[in-house]
Amino acid sequence: EVVEMNFADLERKVQEQSDVIAFYRGIVSPKDGGRGLRVQDLKVSKGKDERHYNVRLVLVQAMQHDQSVEGQVDFSLEGAQNGVSTIYSLAQLSRESEAARWPFVFRYFQDFDRELVLPEGFAPQKINVEVISNTKSVASVKLSVDWLAGSG
């Protein structure tokens, strides 16, 4: 029984390390061979309170590490507010005023955690992320995913 527990623990650790290796490999040489700025990961999870959610966003600069990339993330949620089509910005969904801005500066990768509070009666349908690069040689990136696909 102890051997089984140790084996399960070992398997979990191996999986965690495999995930970390895959993450770094994606930065150094992504499978699609693409270069530049990209969204490596976007996850939404339920917070402690009702209508509270945590957003985790990981940005990477693939195969292009000779300089830092600088810019900001534009984040919004599309959905229905009491049946009416509505878009909320990060500023409208954040409790802290500084969380309304989402700047970044990094060379390899940067991860973010933000807390969102959804308005009463709002049913989210889509997450829109625009990663706006202020670095001339690095292109901006846009991503739009279904709310259910991003939440877990």
Counting runs of H as helices and runs of E as strands, what totals does the chain give? 3, 8
Strand partners, 109: 60
- Model pLDDT, residue 152: 45
Which one, of 148, 143, 147, lies nearest residue 59 by Cα? 143
pLDDT per residue, tens digit, the chain (152 aa), is 666 767 778 888 878 777 666 655 655 555 555 567 888 889 999 988 889 999 999 888 876 657 788 999 999 999 999 999 999 998 899 877 656 678 999 888 888 888 899 999 999 999 999 999 998 888 888 999 999 755 54
- Model pLDDT, residue 78: 96
- Cα distance between residue 74 and residue 119, in whole Å: 19
pTM for the whole thing? 0.71
